[in-house]
Chain A
Amino acid sequence: MIPFRVQLRPGVSLFEQIVYAATRAMVAGQLRPGDAFPSVRALSKELKINPNTAAKVVAHLVSVGLLEMRPGVGTVVATLPDSTARERTQLLDQQIEELVVEAKRLGIELDETQAALTAHWNKLGGTEKPAGTRKGDS
């Protein structure tokens, strides 16, 4: 089983979606340094994607240093540098942009949008910190 959530949308590059989902999982602490990352074969079979695409995903994550190859073990999540809150926020960039575009399209003002955001935030409750949070996070 893939140890992180991937909801594939048709029409958008599979490669991008999976890289994003994996990166997000790592930065959010769902995948921790040293955790085994699914093999190309496992990715391909579980997500029902072309093995070449799966291979490209793994190769890319290795090349940007998020995964490393351990002989005899396979691909594992690399020891991540402390991710700052800023880096984690950047992952949300696309959703935030979509939210802003939609709000403007509907003629909703910034303060109304912020109020709605706050309401939802509180509704979902809890202030669980992800496992990767470090002391002195800015």
Chain B
Amino acid sequence: MNAAIRTENLEKHFGRTAALDGVSLAVPEGAIYALVGRNGAGKTTLMKLLMNILRPSRGTAQVLNADATRLAGKGFCGIGYVSENQQLPDWMTVGALLDFCRPFYPTWDRALAGELVAQFDLPLDRRLRQLSRGMRMKAAFVSALAYRPRLIVLDEPFSGLDPLVRDELVDSLLELAGESTIFISSHDLAEIESLASHVGYLEEGHLLFSEEMSTLSERFRDVTVTLPEAAAARADFPAACIDVQIAGPVVRFVHTQYEGAATERQVAEAFPSALSIVYDPMPLRAIFLAVAKSQRDRARLAQTNARTVNV
């Protein structure tokens, strides 16, 4: 598999804090990889390492088949990078920004730039500092996408934007999605879910999982067991079952390694008196919450830094 991004045991320390620890992931070419995780999990740090804004403490990162630490100048011609609080030259007009960027990128497509400006209703003669948050982000997008970069890296691009703007930005990404690889971090899980082909979950600097969206969807199930009478608490749930809740005769938990009939048999054996056992697939947001809560609860229980557990 040709990887547009590949990291091996990537580590970044700030003083004694490990912002990233042992992160190994691979983003296949043409993929749309969603990096999700709580605030402060290390997503921005990871992206800055990939863009050579920060240096790793240990480990390696390859971006478009070159060492990320060597990324400079012309190396960025094939990469479009937009961060959450993108700094833009506020005194420039939108038009001036595009005129300024164009000469740096041999593959700049004027027609595409024009189309994006039109689709986004961007006023070319308005200064960037006069634009709303959404408009600024659109301007940043045009300046980053107009040259059809092979790799698009987006750090929380939808943060604080209204649904229509988000919709328009997603459309612009879909224009390029076929030919480009997209690496995007976002809290907009609903939006990301249908877009992303791959997803990685970062928790306190550790990658809990990194896989195809389809396999993630297939292995997570929300399980509801209805028993004939009030359920007793039990401590024998396997590690694959998280977020256990018991209320009266109903036991609910999230199974993280669902494998169809085999799993259903195991669960049926664990609850031989069950009146019904229902398996519901879970949207990405529900998966995120279940994993995040499980990690939070472990941390509280251990009363130390969270131990990572493979989910």
Contacts and interface: CB of A to CB of B under 8 A. Distances in A.
A52 B197 CA distance: 8
Interface residue tally of chain B, by bracket? Answer: 20 to 34
Interface string B185-212: 0000011011111000000000000000
A45 B191 CA distance: 13
Contacts of A52: 30, 197
Given A11-B281, A11-B282, A48 B197 contact: no
B195 A11 contact: no
Contacts, number: 48
A30 interface: no
Interface stretch (B44-52, B101-109, B170-178): B170-178
A50 B284 contact: no
A8 interface: yes
Given A11-B217, A13-B214, A13-B217, A47 B194 contact: yes
B198 to A, nearest CB: 10
Given A47-B194, A48-B191, A49-B195, A11 B283 contact: yes
Contacts of A13: 214, 217
A39 B65 CA distance: 32
Contact of B170 (A10, A48, A53, A105): A48
Summarize B's interface: helix, strand, loop or mixed: helix
B145 to A, nearest CB: 15
A47 B276 CA distance: 35
A78 B217 CA distance: 32
Contact of B174 (A14, A48, A105): A48
B195 A50 contact: yes
A26 B202 CA distance: 43
B64 interface: no
Interface string A52-88: 1100000000000000000000000000000000000
Contacts of B191: 48
Contacts of B178: 51
Interface string A26-56: 0000000000000001001101111111000
A92 interface: no
B206 to A, nearest CB: 25
B125 interface: no
B194 A48 contact: yes
Nearest to B178: A51
A51 B177 contact: yes
A101 B59 CA distance: 53
B32 interface: yes
A12 interface: yes
Interface string B263-289: 000000000000010001111111000
B193 A10 contact: yes
A14 B280 CA distance: 15
A41 B197 CA distance: 16
A48 B32 CA distance: 13
Given A10-B190, A11-B217, A45-B174, 16 more contacts: A8-B194, A10-B194, A10-B283, A10-B284, A11-B281, A13-B214, A14-B194, A41-B174, A48-B167, A48-B170, A48-B174, A48-B191, A48-B194, A50-B177, A50-B196, A53-B197
Interface of A: 8, 10-14, 41, 44-45, 47-53, 105
Q: 9 closest pairs, A vs B, by CB?
A: A10-B283, A11-B281, A11-B283, A49-B194, A51-B177, A51-B178, A11-B282, A50-B197, A45-B174
20 contacts: A8-B194, A10-B190, A11-B282, A11-B283, A13-B214, A14-B194, A45-B171, A45-B175, A48-B167, A48-B170, A48-B174, A48-B191, A48-B194, A49-B195, A50-B177, A50-B197, A51-B174, A51-B177, A52-B197, A53-B197
